[in-house]
Amino acid sequence: MSVSVSISDHETGAEQVPSPPRQPLRRLAVMIAPVVGLVLVFGLWELYVRAAGVRPLTLPPPSRVLRHVIEEPGFYWEHAVITIEEATLGFWLGFAAAVAVATFMALSRFVERATLPTIVLLQSTPVAVLAPVFLIWFGFNIWPKALVAAVFCYVPFVTNAFTGLRSIDENAFELMRSVSSSRREIFWKLRLPHCLPYLFSSARLCLGLALVGAVIGEMFAGSTGGLGNTARVAQTRLLVDQLWGSIFVLALIGVVANLVLAAVESRMLRWHSSQTTRR
Amino acid sequence: MEGTTVPQSVVRPDHSSDAGSAGAAVSLRGVSKWYLGRNDHTHALSQVDLDVSAGEFVSVIGPSGCGKSTLLRVVGGLVPYETGSVDVAGTTPAAARRTKQLGFTPQTPALLPWRTVRRNVRFLSELNARRAAREPLSEKDSVALLETVGLGEFIDSFPNQLSGGMQQRVALVRSFVLGAPVMLMDEPFSALDEITRNEMRYLLLDLWARTQKTVIFVTHSIPEAVILADRVLVMAPRPGRVVSIEPIDLPRPRVASMEDDPQYLEHVRSVRAALHAVSVR
């Protein structure tokens, strides 16, 4: 980024401006690096299984798992949709609850002090054990799984949202006070936009957590569908392909969700330092 | 700035009444202010009297803890005071603040990173807009002012694409766009390097001359205080008070070459002596 203005420019007059160095190879390397990492891991896995003659029941080669998934697209699609629905519902439930609570925390010291211990409590509890409770409350439907996912997402969302709403620029705050800006204006024009990068960074974490929550819900809160369920069934019946197939599809969902989030983030946070290109 | 011309619309004739009106734009009478702690109390301001006429430029200088920032915030209605009376633009500080008659410039640019330069300079105008006693500068005039300070190319840039000096220029324009008759500046150039800082002084003088605002300018720098102001207020700490007022009779417009002027140097020496007397006590 070359920002300069005539007044602060140190132009050297006659000297010729050098053309920027061209490094096509280096750029290509940077672009394909992630692919290289993945290919390496799966390649070594494949190689090890074949060379050491590992039994497929212990660890099938990735090529076999992939072939299995491709042969059964309908089966995996059906269950992926169930898990995605649960995780999405949980993600947004956790998000909405967290933003609402964080807003009240940011506006009132009392609410902040009253709420913090409950967050610590929730953070310290292995919330997966709530799955059976939610099952008793809501029965065999989407809600127990979505709620487990929501509880997983709630803590990172609420702590980050609160930090984002609270840690505003003091000078900007005073500037707004100097024209008698209302609390509402301060919230919408200062606190909330300032909070956005915090929400995005926690969203990245919570995408994974929502999937974990949904899968745990499917495993412990009674289910007849979803990839957590297919994995659990596969384990009891020693269907090793289906077990690993479920894992692969879950991983794929996580990756795609992250890519979508990254795209949204780079559009919405163009102004943020995290989005400026590294030099 | 390298001889930029400003459209006539920026030289705002409709505000000329501010400068023309008789009497003080800001007036303090026997103002005292305490900060009450659990164990210790700070006498931040003691019996401060001050009159700033409309269109005047007053610098406030003094060692840390002398209450100069507090003075600015009392005038701005940002902190309460215990005794005395304060009159700003013909009303109380609180009322002046409510009706947006005060243009505050903080120590840092405090730009909103998610707003472009264009939208940052309009920011204060958007807030509390219904109660504003004065019209802010129009979008066109705001842009013209940005061009005046050399930011014409950066109108649609985000703050993280600007250097520190450029950000401070945006902050200055922002405070002028508000259109408030009284400007309160709290060491706005303190975070800048010396060279940029020097440029900013003349830029500020240029903007001030075009708009004829009343300015109270808090600073740590003696040369800055002298070259900018009509009068320099020297303050002392414990308790915070005004110890001397130095009138600066340098002609206007002030230009950089005046910094070699014996008259200017004499003022600098005199302010330094007043400050020295305060700090050795």
ipTM: 0.85
Partner-chain contact A271 B163, CB within 8 Å: no
**Summary mean pLDDT of chain B:** 87
Nearest residue in B to A191, CA atom: B112
For residue A182, give the chain B residue with the closest CA.
Answer: B128
CB-based burial label for B176 (10 Å; 0-12, 13-18, 19+): buried
Cβ-Cβ contacts under 8 Å, B159 against chain A: 271
Which pair of tokens denotes residue B158? 């985000």
Q: What's the Cα-to-Cα distance from B140 to each of A104, A166, A218, A225, rounded to whole Å?
A: 39, 35, 60, 61
Among B1, B97, B106, beta carbon nearest to A180 = B97
Contact A8 B108 (CB under 8 A): no
Note the pLDDT of residue B1. 41
User: What does the pLDDT look like over A163-173, one tens digit per residue?
Assistant: 999 999 999 99
Instruction: Report whether pLDDT(A277) > 60.
Output: no
Q: Which pTM was predicted?
A: 0.81
The per-residue b/e assignment along A31-42, b for 16 or more CB within 10 angstroms, e otherwise, is: eeeeeeeeeeee
pLDDT digits (tens, 9 = 90+) for B106-129: 999 999 999 999 999 999 999 988
Residue closest to A227 by CA, chosen among A239, A240, A216: A216
- Read off the pLDDT band of B10 (50, 70, 90): very low
Task: Tell me the shortest Cα–Cα distance from B266 to chain A, in angstroms.
Answer: 30
Q: What's the confidence (pLDDT) of residue B23?
A: 61
More confident: A274 or A99: A99
